[in-house]
Structure 1
Amino acid sequence: MTERTTTLNLLIVEDEALIAMTIEDALTSYGHRVVGIAEDVASALSLARAHPVDLALCDVRLAHGDSGVDAAARLADRGIPVVYLSGNCPTDAAAPLVVGCISKPFRTASLHASVLAAHAIAKGGSAIKAPEALALYA
């Protein structure tokens, strides 16, 4: 286990189980709590209603033909900051609380640093320097 700085409640929106478990393992190893894994928009919104979420990590392509861009916008509308975690990063944000995108594949340490930076930026930390792995939206 590595040194913890901040523990966040995270929602993972990813339809590929192996990738979702890899993300969960990576983030819990840094002390974060994963409140759930959603494979589509409906399950993401259901988990967001049931648990406090500090940040959501959202793939762009989801199960049942759902759009991760739609999921991100709807989560952001609920006041939840979002970071895309995708091999196909969108060129812009779906909503103001969609902070940026982390490209797959990712390194565990850069994922952790990117999650912390995205959360801080979403909460108003304008002086936060984003890790190289996190492409920020303006």
Structure 2
Amino acid sequence: MTAAHTGLAPHPIDEPTDETPLNLLIIEDEALVAMLVEDALTLHGHRVIGIADTVAAAMALVDAERPDMALCDVKLADGDSGVTAAQLLADRGIPCVFLSGNCPERAGHPLVIGCIAKPFRAGSLGAAVRAAHLTATGKRPNDPPPALTFYHEER
């Protein structure tokens, strides 16, 4: 049965839906945490394009393959700042969510959506990422998970 027969509008193939797997970048300097985050995200059907532990490594990954969104720790290797990484990503149009035990109080950019506080539950990570991405694309998540603190409540 075609969309015309059901009365539903056809859905363009290249338009992401609320369930489309996301290409995600993890910016985290603790290898074990990065692997746990990657496992949790892939279990939720997402694809991790790479893991970076510094701002320079994150920008190199972004230049190689543009992610749909990034998850970023606040304190990174070599004294780098995840806040700086998030700002640079947002300036390039890439939404970011902090994943940190030190959540900043403010975003600094509209595409820095919020923060998931460590320690986090791996099972809630997928819903938090989905809600953050929906928010970044101008949609309002139906049931935002409590694990995600939004910076821009007016969205």
TM-score (norm 2): 0.84
Q: Which runs of 4+ in 1 moved over 3 A?
A: 126-129
Contact map agreement 2:113 2:132 (CA 8 A) in 1: yes
Aligned pair partner of 1:123 in 137, 150, 153: 137
How many residues align? The count is 135
Aligned pair partner of 2:50 in 20, 30, 36: 36
Contact map agreement 1:13 1:44 (CA 8 A) in 2: yes
Identity of aligned residues (%): 62
CA RMSD, Structure 1 to Structure 2 (Å): 1.3
1:79 and 2:97 correspond: no
- Whole-angstrom CA distance in 1 between matches of 2:58 and 2:66: 12
Structure number with larger C-alpha Rg: 2
Unaligned runs of 5+ in 1: none
Question: Partner of 1:17 in structure 2?
Answer: 31
Greater RCO (CA < 8 Å, at least 6 residues apart): 1
Aligned pair partner of 2:67 in 44, 53, 74: 53
TM-score (norm 1): 0.94
Contact map agreement 1:60 1:88 (CA 8 A) in 2: yes
SS at match of 1:89: coil
